[in-house]
Amino acid sequence: MKLTLRVWRQKNADADGTMSTYEVDGISPDMSFLEMLDVLNEQLILGGEDPVAFDHDCREGICGACSLVINGDAHGPERTTTCQLHMRSFKDGDTIDIEPWRAAAFPVVKDLVVDRSAFDRIIQAGGYITAPTGSAPEAHATPVPKPDADFAFEHAECIGCGACVAACPNGAAMLFTSAKINHLNVLPQGAPERETRVLDMVAQMDAEGFGGCTLTGECATACPKGIPLMSITSMNKEWLRATRKVAKR
Partner 1 sequence: MTSYLDYTTGEPVADTKAPAGPINERWDKRRFEAKLVNPANRRKQTVIVVGTGLAGGSAGATLAEQGYHVVQFCYQDSPRRAHSIAAQGGINAAKNYRNDGDSIHRLFYDTVKGGDFRSRESNVHRLAQISVEIIDQCVAQGVPFAREYGGLLDTRSFGGVQVSRTFYARGQTGQQLLLGAYQALSRQIAAGNIEMHPRTEMLDLIVVDGRARGIVARDLITGQIDTYYADAVVLASGGYGNVFYLSTNAMNSNATAVWRAHRRGAYFANPCFTQIHPTCIPRTGDHQSKLTLMSESLRNDGRIWVPKAKGDTRPPNQIPEDERDYYLERIYPSFGNLVPRDIASRAAKNVCDEGRGVGPGGQGVYLDFADAIQRMGRRKVEEKYGNLFDMYERITAENPYEVPMRIYPAVHYTMGGLWVDYDLQTTIPGLFAVGEANFSDHGANRLGASALMQGLADGYFVLPATINDYLARHPHQEPVTDDHPVVQEVLAETGDRLNLLLSVDGDRTPDSFHRELGELMWEFCGMARTETGLRKALERIPQIREEFWRRIKVPGTGEELNQSLEKANRIVDYLELAELMCLDALHRSESCGGHFREESQTPDGEAARRDDEFGYAAAWEFTGTGEAPTLHKEDLVFEYVHPTQRSYA
Partner 2 sequence: MTRTVWDSTVGKKIVMAVSGLIMLLYLVLHLYGNLKVFFGLQAIDDYAVWLRNVGEPFMHRMWTLWLVRVVLVVAVVAHAVSAYQLSRRDIKARPSKYVRKRPRATYATRTMRWGGVILGLFIVWHILDLTTGTVHTGGFQDAHPYENIVDTFSTWYGNVIYIVAMLALGLHIRHGFWSAAQTLGAGSRTRDRALKATANVLALLLTVGFISIPVGVMTGLVS
Q: Is 1 in the site for partner 1 (CB under 8 A)?
A: no
Integer Cα distance of 239 and 176 in angstroms: 15
SS3 state of residue 172:
strand
Q: Restricting to residues 147-206, which ones interact with partner 1 according to CB under 8 A?
A: 149, 152-153, 156-157, 159-160, 183-184, 187, 189-190
Minimal distance in Å, beta carbon 223 to partner 1? 14
Integer Cα distance of 44 and 39 in angstroms: 9
CB 175 within 8 A of CB 162: no
Q: Which string of x and - marks every residue 66-105 that binds partner 1 (by CB under 8 A)?
A: ------------x-x---x-x-x-----------------
Q: Is 154 in the site for partner 2 (CB under 8 A)?
A: no
Q: Is 13 in the site for partner 2 (CB under 8 A)?
A: no
Give the closest residue to 105 by CA, choosing from 214, 227, 202, 211.
211
- Residue length of the chain: 249
Interaction partner, residue 228 (partner 2, partner 1, none; CB < 5-8 Å by kind): partner 2
**CA distances to 203, 212, 222 from 216, in Å:** 22, 11, 12
**Residues within the interface to partner 2 (CB under 8 A):** 6, 19, 69, 71-73, 97, 99, 102-105, 168-172, 199, 202-203, 205-206, 209-218, 221, 228-230, 232-241, 243-244, 246-247
